[in-house]
Amino acid sequence: MRMLMPRGGSMSDAIWQFLIQLVEPKVRLESRVHQKMYLARYARESVFVWEDREVVELDAYFAALVTLISKENELSRVSENR
C-alpha cells in the first residue's frame, strides 16, 4: 500500500489510517496500469520503463501528459474552425 499512496509530511499523515481505508487497492492498481500505458504510448517507451518509477513521479508525468494533450486538442479545434 505504501507504493500505491505515499505519504509526505502533510496534514493527512494524522488521519492516514482512515484515508487508506477509503482506497480500493484494485481500483488504484488499475489506475496505475492505465497511467503507465498512456505514458509508454505517448513517450514512445516500453511500458516496463515506468515500472520502477515512484508513484509521485508517475503522477507528475501523467499530469503533464494530460495538460499537453488538452492543449493539443484545443489547438486542433481552433485550426478546424478556420
The average pLDDT across 62-78 equals 88
- Binned at pLDDT 50, 70 and 90, residue 63 comes out as very high
Residue 35 lies in a domain: yes
pLDDT tens across 51-62, in order? 888 888 888 999
**The three grid cell numbers given for residue 75, joined into one nine-digit string:** 489547438
pLDDT tens across 4-42, in order? 555 555 666 666 666 666 777 788 888 888 999 999 998
Query: How many structural domains are present in the chain?
Result: 1
Domain that holds residue 66: 11-80
Distance (Å, whole) CA 59 – CA 27: 15
Residue 66 lies in a domain: yes
Is 0.95 surpassed by the pTM of this model? no
Task: Determine the pLDDT at residue 11.
Answer: 62
